[in-house]
Amino acid sequence: MTRGPGPCWRPLAAAGLLALAGWGAQAQVQTPLRVVGGLAGVNQYTRWEEPFWSRELTRLSGGRFKAEIVPFDRAGVPGDEMLRMLQLGVVPFGTTLLSTLTGSFPQYTAIDLAGLNPDMASLKSSVAAFRPYLEMSLRQDLGVEMLALYVYPAQVLFCRRPLAGLADLSGRRVRVSSAGQADFVGALGAVPVHTAFAQVVASMEAGSIDCAITGTMSGNTLGLHAITSHLHTLPISWGLAVFGANRAAWDALPPDLRALLRQELPRLEASIWEESERDTAQGVACNSGAPACATGRKGRMVVVAASPQDERRRQEIFRDTVLPRWLQRCGQRCADLWNQTIGPARGLATPGNP
């Protein structure tokens, strides 16, 4: 579902950045903490992040600590600048979608490259292998303390016209939200079209895209179930987000607050992962109108499961296109990084390595 901030941030940018600039200066004030959270409107934010910061923190601390949270796509900060804002301390506590870092920090996108994780078990394996490096690099290289790693539901294909498998995407214009997704669909002969999440429905209705990659449930929230007919359920990617703190802001917190957050944020992370797994299944059920749909709007989409041919094609595209192009963007350091982390864990060596 990778949902980056759309054009709506621009009118708010000046005011938002001015407000955020004041947050860093207040980092030493015990209350309230100022937090930039995940994406607005999705269950990971509305059911878990927002209640934790606005209510649970106060309850858990016996009223000693409070926090205010705003979703990052309403904070006036472009997604690809959030990590820099954390590094500088302009945003003391914030959330960064890893897919937005292709241009600035491509090494961090390895964990969720398009075609790498075709199911939740694969994703968890990749995360377990890569997480120690991610935490260490953010801390040592950028002065950012990683406090949690969140995930969004599976990013799948919604199409206006029938398709029986991935091969049928050839010649179609497909909405993508990252360079890796563009590499993946391009290898299928499709035309990648980078489109903001907020513009997906309008682009589909205008005929400028034929298919869209987005989350199973977020696509339902957008209303794609009403204007598309086929849902191909292979997870092309997922959507991982780091929640972190500027190291100086983190160190300035009272020790008991740091201890409380170290205890509770892993629980929040686990709840968000469980929510994402539920939402992936609920999105499929609701878009197709299945009886199991309980949290979304029922559609009548045809569900297309990945065939053995699709699975073979996914593996080929990842090995021959997505991984080599990521290495081109990232350089030799990333080849070494891959072969020390995700590669051995997943049995996927870089080109030229056994």
Q: Which residue has the tokens 């080109």?
A: 351
Domains defined along the chain, listed by start: 7-153+239-281 (3.40.190.170)
Of the candidates 94, 85, 79, 69, which has an alpha carbon nearest to the alpha carbon of residue 4?
A: 79
Categorise residue 208: left if φ over 0, alpha if ψ from -120 to 50, beta otherwise.
alpha
At 119 the pLDDT is 96
Q: Which residue has the higher pLDDT, 299 or 76?
A: 299
Q: At what angle do helices 179-187 and 323-330 cross, to 10 degrees?
A: 140
**Percent of the chain with pLDDT strictly greater than 70:** 90
pLDDT number for residue 51: 97
CA distance 190 to 50: 38
Lowest mean pLDDT among 42-46, 311-315, 326-330: 42-46
Mean pLDDT taken over the chain:
90
Please check whether residue 83 is in contact with residue 105, taking contact to mean a CB–CB distance below 8 angstroms.
Answer: yes
| Predicted local distance difference test score (pLDDT) of residue 1 | 42
Torsion of CA 340, 154, 6, 46, to 10 degrees: -110
pLDDT in tens, 36-91: 998 888 888 999 999 999 999 999 999 999 999 999 888 887 778 899 999 999 99
On whether the CB atoms of residues 215 and 157 are closer than 8 A, the answer is no
Q: Which residues have a Cβ under 8 Å from the Cβ of 300 and sit 6 or more positions away?
A: 225, 288, 289
Percent of the chain with pLDDT over 90: 81
**What pLDDT is stored for residue 31 in this prediction?**
63
pLDDT band at 132 (very low <50, low <70, confident <90, very high): very high
Q: What's the whole-number mean pLDDT along residues 21-47? A: 70
Closest alpha carbon to 305 in 120, 154, 166, 190? 166
Give the pLDDT of residue 79: 76
CA atoms within 13 A on the CB side of 60: 20
Please compute the mean of the pLDDT values over residues 6-16 and round it to a whole number.
36
What's the confidence (pLDDT) of residue 270?
A: 97
Mean pLDDT for the stretch of residues 193-211: 94
Higher-pLDDT residue of 215 and 196 is: 215
At residue 206, the pLDDT reads 96
